[in-house]
Amino acid sequence: MNILICDDDREIVGAIEVYLRNEGFNVFKAYDGIEALEIVRKEELHLVLMDIMMPRMDGMRTTMKIREEKNIPIIMLSAKSEDYDKVTGLNLGADDYITKPFNPLELIARVKSQLRRYVSLGSLEKKTGVFKSGGLAVDDEAKTVAVDGEQVPVTPIEYGILKLLTENAGKVFSMERIYEVVWNEPSFHPENTVAVHIRRIREKIEINPKEPRYLKVVWGIGYKIEKL
């Protein structure tokens, strides 16, 4: 597995590299967003660890650029812990967010969780059918999402949420339950994280995200895919 670490702090890059190599990962290194984009375009990567504050091109802009071309998992790293930075990063396409300083064991656990999800999308798993609601179709054999016959590009996290909700169309899932199932880890205040991904999904599958046909909120309870 190939992982790119992008951070202008060379000591942090070096430390993360040691943790990842000890787990058997192959590591690429970049120290600003421009270097990161060059590597993303040349190498076959499976995950990116992206710092926010960097010279030349920061992590937010770099994430936007990567998302124009790739759906690989992106975990953002930042010394900032404010919800605004977290939500902004997720809105721009990041899959997860870790605040520095972080526990190396937590970092490795999150990396492995994202990689399991990403690899499963491209693996030849057993056929599990196509889940549909009206014009929305989630093909769990091809690992694709389509609306009215047109394929919609989604990240691994977005696919996981859509599969869970579409497979159980009509059933309401709380934010905590969505997080536990899709992220495959206990949920601790997952509201911002789940809500941001729901918003991104709506922008991709709904004609009018403000008046969704498929992905509905049930106030005070959670979310569901309407059974159509």
pLDDT in tens, 87-126: 777 887 888 888 888 899 999 999 998 888 787 665 434 4
- Tell me the C-alpha to C-alpha distance, in Å, between residue 214 and each of 3, 37, 74, 93: 35, 35, 27, 21
Q: Per DSSP, what are the bridge partners of residue 32?
A: none
Domain residue extents for the chain: 2-122, 130-225
Q: Which parts of the chain fold into alpha helices (H)?
A: 10-22, 33-42, 59-67, 83-91, 104-122, 156-167, 175-182, 191-205
Answer whether 0.85 is exceeded by the pTM.
no
Question: Does residue 127 have a pLDDT over 90?
Answer: no
Report the distance separating Cα 171 and Cα 173, nearest Å: 7
Any idea what DSSP says for residue 92? T
Q: Which CATH class is domain 130-225?
A: mainly alpha
What are the structure tokens assigned to 208, written together? 């009018």
Mean pLDDT of the chain: 88
Residue located via tokens 């990240």: 155
Q: Are 96 and 63 in contact (CB under 8 A)?
A: no
What pLDDT is stored for residue 193 in this prediction? Answer: 85
Any idea what DSSP says for residue 31? S
Say which amino acid occupies 119. V
The fold adopted by the segment(s) 2-122 is: Rossmann fold (3.40.50)
Stretch 15-35: mean pLDDT: 95
Matching fold, domains 2-122 and 130-225:
no
